[in-house]
Structure 1
Amino acid sequence: MGIRTAEQYRKGLVDDRTVIYRGRRVGDVEQEPDIRSATDRCGLCFSISADRPDLAVVDGCSAFYHLPRSREDLVARSRLLREISRRGAGAIVLKEVGSDALFALLRACQGEGLERARAFHQRCLDEDLALAVAQTDAKGNRVLSPSQQADPDLYLRIVDSDADSITVRGAKAQTTYSPNADEILVLPTRAMGPGDADYAVSFVIPPATPGLTLYVSPYAAGQRDAFEFPLSSRHRMLESLTVFDDVRVPRERVFLERESATAGPLTLAFVDFHRHTAINYKLPFLDLMVGAAHLVAEANGISGAGHVRDKLARVVSWAETVRGLAELSDVRAGPDERGVWRPDPLVVNLAKYTFAQGYPDAAAILVDLAGGLLVTGPGAEDWADPRIRAVLEKYYAGAVPGERRLRIANLVADLTVRDFGGYQTALNSHAEGSLEAEKVQMIRSFDPGPAIRYAEELAGVAGDTPVGRALTHSMEER
């Protein structure tokens, strides 16, 4: 098949998958408006193949699944990620995260698991699949390891196996676009100790697999008017609690089975690519934040004020710092031992950390520049009535006509203070890893040796110092 159309992708979602949404089972995901709107968004990663084959097609297959074998390949992937995000108002669709996980399998799996991963990679190329990734476990008491939990199902685990299959039980939380996927690819969420072997598991299954249930979050549910909600009326992401109730997985679909030592490297291999995807898909979102800040300042007639120019400079500085770091992660990229080019992990995590740390300040600046109109403006029904609209246009005029000012205010409101804005606040802090996770990866990736030796040279002290020995030991352990 090679390349599918968005319509072919859509038709492939109609099966007997078990999807629970707002207290009821959804018989056909294409007939549920909220789920269908997410399918529309995910369809972008298919339609882009038709109008931008230079970006989205490599050797007759989807470029999302093209394994980077050079710096040029990685740069091309970055351009593709940015363009698909621009079309989706600054957020992911499906193939990006799926390919991140697939590349991790190809980098970290061993033996038969690696051969199966290679076969599945070829299938993704041949059939142009859309993959959801289920990685985050429920975790329970986070002080305890998976095998120490009071309820053993709080991390997904293997409960049985035979010559042909494994059987798994448990759940994965926050699985993005699971109702909209062709396949669900499962990864471990953390490194595993010897006592956690049953939890070291990775596989891929169709959403319609018996025993698999997708409990979809209703956050930001409901149909919305495009005037009042210019973003969330057209761009919706879905998350699910993905529950495995003694699900049987054929062995040819299993990539990791009770290999505790591989769980950690596989998790980190996913992080390398997933945060690279994050910093690229967030660049259009950064452009949206910068553009909205300038527009709302103009609409209120305050663009020339000194404090406003200072605030705009802070938003621009934040956005362009992340952009520069995203580009630097490709410049510093290099191959692993299997010849797969990965972005520089230090710079990737620094970029993601910079984005997440700066987002609350940038959102607060937008709210400050916009004023109370964000929560006191008229609704869509008022705007639709010609008599009321004439009054609104008269009294909501600012430095620009009333309609322009209201539409800009609604864009900022949707982006910051409404439920879509609340979703963005949580997403931008925790998606692809928390601030603390990014700091851990930065320390893991940074070699302090040259800096320490330089400082010692200028200080005139011996190199064999306690801090030097401790840092060297720490690097060796990692």
Structure 2
Amino acid sequence: MGLRTPQQYIDSIRDDRTVFYRGEQVADVTTHPIIKKAVHHAALDFEMTEDPEYRELAVVKEGGDEYSRYFKIPASTDDLLKRSQLIEAATALGKTLVVLVKEIGTDALFALHRVSRQVDQKYETDYLRRVQAFYKHCRDNDLALSVAQTDVKGDRSAGPQNQPHPDYYTRIVERRADGIVVRGAKIHTSCTTNVNELIVLPTRAMSEADKDYALAFAIPVNTPGVKLVASPYGGSPKSEFDAPLSADRKMMETITIFDDVFVPWDRVFMAGEHDFAAAIALGFVEYHRFTAVSYKLPLVDALIGSALLMADMNGIAKAAHVRDKMIWLISYAETLRALTEMAAIRGTGDADGIFAPDALTTNMAKYHFAHHYHEALQHVQDIAGGMLVTGPGVEDFANPETGDLLRKYLGGRAGIDGEVRTRAMNMVSDLTTGDFGGYHAVLAIHAEGSLEAEKLMISRAYDSRRTLAYAKKLAGIQE
């Protein structure tokens, strides 16, 4: 099929998928008053391939074929850098909200390519061929993809086999000649309401006793038995004046239920090879945290820009404390950018020449971003002022009795009237205080792995032998 238009993408998700929103089944996700915002936001990925400004970055040409750069299997550090640049550009166009309908799915596909060959070599399975066939299907048809990895988990202190309910981790409940039957639920599955295909991965290391939980597969979202319960968070109606970033932007999150779902063997990429569950889980994370730090770049840029804008409008741009906060914000953002670029530059290839970003630097970048994010919000909110949460609405400026008074009394430095300043405040409020800002703040801590997960990966990825040997040499200690 080749590259699709935005309208072809939208038409492709008009099907019989089972989606629930606030207790009601959704007949058409493309016309639902809330979910359609996520659909049109996701269409950005398809718009960019048609836009002359972004086409060279967004499209790969190989021979006579063209396809989305997201599907380019990284074969060099330059491929990783261009992937990061595309993610950053798309997120900037999305007003700080990542698009994610190709980014996350290709993260999973790259990991599956790297690990499935190892599984085949040990168990004489046929997984790599299946992964390659599915990858080609997605690339050549320019499909939108989601990934379901995080199980609902139940008792977090117990493994899959020791739960009070056997389905707290997604599992195989039947093996048939033509495929498997799967039961369970995954949570925090982004974009699932408005993609074509869903990739399911293990969420953790598994023991032999957990082998029925060690599975990876892909299915169309409208497969019978797949039920998507969409989160209503951030779904209240908004005006462009009050919420200039999020009024027309949305990412849907779902609890994805597998109610005895049949998966044919050619869509199964792991079925019981428990000793490779961790490798697939971590292999996906290795790519997806790199995606994460790439899409955080427009967000931290927006925080700097918001602080600069409000400092100017409030007439405090030259204040010493504002200068100090701005230096902190710039250092925070540019350290993230440098670490993200270095993660690509330090990337290495496997035996098949598939490159992955450097795990140590990627996790350092993600930890740096998440650990300091709320301090960044504090500085921006301090510079902006309390009107972030106490300002008037657009209707008050339209009212002839109050409009001119508000324009007068809510103004800032010379030349800035109250309506202009309120518009700026509303943008900063949308970014840092409302449900959109809250979504960003929670994602900073939990999305793509928690702070503790990032610290663990930094510890694992760092090779301490070099520095330990150097310290011994300095101390005159013989090896």
TM-score normalised by length of structure 1: 0.95
CA distance in 2, matches of 1:251, 1:446: 38
User: What is the identity percentage for the equivalent residue pairs of Structure 1 and Structure 2?
Assistant: 47
1:7 matches 2:14: no
Deviation string, structure 1 residues 136-170 (Cα, Å, up to 9, x no partner)? 00011111111111101000000001110100000
3-state SS in 2 of match to 1:285? helix
Higher relative helix content:
1
Contact persistence 2:246–2:430 (CA under 8 A):
yes
Pairwise mapping of residues 262-277 of structure 1 onto structure 2 (< 5 A)? 262-277=276-291
Partner of 1:468: none
**Distance in 2, Cα, partners of 1:432 & 1:384:** 43
AA in 2 matched with 1:203: F
- Aligned partner (choices 168, 172, 176) of residue 158 of structure 1: 172
**Mapped pair 1:358 → 2:364:** no
Determine the structure 2 residue equivalent to 1:467: none
Which of 60, 81, 92 aligns to 2:87? It is: 81
Q: Could you tell me which residue of structure 2 aligns to residue 64 of structure 1?
A: 70
**How many residues align structurally?**
463
Secondary structure of the corresponding residue to residue 49 of structure 2: helix
8 Å Cα contact 2:310/2:384 also seen in 1: yes
CA distance in structure 2 between the aligned counterparts of 1:459 and 1:387, rounded to whole angstroms: 79
Residue 91 of structure 1 and its aligned partner are, at CA, apart by 2.6
Q: Is the 8 A contact 2:39 2:194 kept in 1?
A: yes
What is the identity, as a one-letter code, of the residue corresponding to 1:119? A
Q: Which amino acid aligns with 1:57?
A: V
Structure 1 position 462, deviation (Å): 3.6
Distance 2:373 2:400 in 1: 38
Structure 1 residue matching 2:16: 3-state secondary structure: coil
Cα RMSD (Å) of the superposition?
Answer: 1.0
Distance 2:207 2:102 in 1: 31
CA drift of 1:78 comes to 1.4
Q: Secondary structure at the match of 1:210?
A: coil
Q: Could you tell me which residue of structure 2 aligns to residue 248 of structure 1?
A: 262
Q: Deviations over 1:27-50 (max 9, x none)?
A: 111121110000011001111111
1:336 has 2:350 as partner: yes
Deviations, residues 303-330 of structure 1 (Å, cap 9, x unaligned): 1111111111111110010001011111
* 1:224-373 → structure 2 map (5 Å cutoff): 224-373=238-387
For residue 25 of structure 2, what is the aligned residue in structure 1?
25
1:62-121, CA deviations, whole angstroms, 9 ceiling, x for partnerless residues?
111010111221121111111111111223211101110111111111331111000011
SS in 2 for 1:447: coil
1:415 to 424, 431, 448: 431
Give the letter aligned to residue 72 of structure 2: H
Post-superposition offset of 1:386 = 4.5
Using a 3 Å threshold, how does the CA distance of structure 1 residues 6 and 386 change in structure 2: closer, same or farther? farther
CA distance in 2, matches of 1:386, 1:107: 65
- Name the CA distance, whole Å, in 2 between partners of 1:386 and 1:77: 51
Unaligned runs of 5+ in 1: 464-478
- Would you say the 8 A contact 2:147–2:190 is kept in 1? yes
Structure 2 unmatched ranges of 5 or more: 121-125
- Equivalent-residue separation in structure 2 for 1:387 and 1:291 (angstroms): 33
CA distance in 1, matches of 2:84, 2:350: 19
* Cα distance in 2 for residues equivalent to 1:62 and 1:223: 33
Q: Which segment drifts farther, 382-391 or 88-97?
A: 382-391
8 Å CA contact retained: 2:397, 2:419: no
Q: Does 1:424 align with 2:440?
A: yes
> Corresponding residue for 1:393?
407
Separation in 1, partners of 2:227, 2:94: 27
Q: Provide the C-alpha distance between the structure 2 equivalents of 1:243 and 1:277, rounded to a whole number of angstroms.
A: 26
Cα distance, 1:363 vs structure 2: 0.4
**How many Å separate the matches in 2 of 1:448 and 1:221?**
47
Query: 2:474: which partner in 1?
Result: 458
2:181 corresponds to 1:181: no
